[in-house]
Amino acid sequence: MRTILITGATSGFGKLMTQEFLAHGDLVIATGRQLVQRNEIFSTERQVYRDRLIEIDLDVTNFQQMLTAFNLIESRFKSLDILINNAGYGQFGALEEFRPEQVRDQMEVNFFGTVNVTQTFLPLLRQGRGKIFNFSSVFGFMGFPLTSLYCASKFAVEGLTESLRMELSPFGVQVCLIRPGGFKTDFGKNLLWNVKAHNSQYVGYVKNYQKLHDYFSEKKTQKPEEVAKGVLKLSLKRNLPMSKVFGQDGRMSYLFKTFTPDFIYFFLFQRILNKFMLDRTNKL
């Protein structure tokens, strides 16, 4: 029986992966902010899987909670088979209008949170010759306007993951990057839009992008179970790939970005975005 640690397990991909790994017969340590107090999240799983589900409060920016979780897991299991760094959130808006603390918080959760958790649990992963899955996104290999903070945090996760893959290979620890496209999760509902006063130079730009994002969010048909099942399947492989893109939109975006010359890519991409995001705005 494998021991799996999942961050950001309170909803979305994190909760679905917890369910998938439990159903497979693994022991899952589900973590999230104030998870223990929110009994309803895993009420069914708690009854069905009993001792194979462990719930721990873990804010990935809280070092005391990190240490508490490490001590508990080390004392009970001595090693860790799989770490899934899934915790994160998004802030969209014009870079010029973000406050310094907003910029730092985006990086603190999405990037430094991944760093903090990985650093903390690496001794247990080395002991178990385990596997690490770091969640990125289409926004981790493609930059979009009004998403600079989120993209920067995910681009950073990608660089971290690629380096760690080589750094940890001599110790038998494998690292894989997960790149989901657009799936029906709570990400859109929890997304923070930085919309300023009516006299902002960006107000129309941001509102049009918000409408565009909401429109496509409603049209999404890709089920997040694809990602949860896909990560489980990957975890069973003897050798992990460097990365895995999920979703038809994600795969098409990856191919478009990878194989289109830069001058063509940016020309086409900018024309498409301008049509949908600028035509109805005030002239910038």
What DSSP element (H or E) covers 123? helix 113-128
Residues contacting 280, CB < 8 A, separation 6+: 204, 208
Give the Cα-Cα-Cα angle 11, 231, 122 (nearest 5 degrees).
Answer: 85
Nearest CA to 91 among 27, 139, 128? 139
Name the token pair of 148: 């600079």
Instruction: Fill in the amino acid letter for 151.
Output: C
Q: Of the listed 49, 89, 150, 265, which one is catalytic?
A: 150
Confirm whether 49 is a catalytic residue.
Answer: no
How far is 68 from 269, CA to CA, in rounded Å?
Answer: 46
Q: Where are the beta strands (DSSP E) in the chain?
A: 3-6, 27-32, 53-57, 82-85, 91-92, 131-135, 174-180, 192-193, 243-246
**Which residues are catalytic, by number?**
150
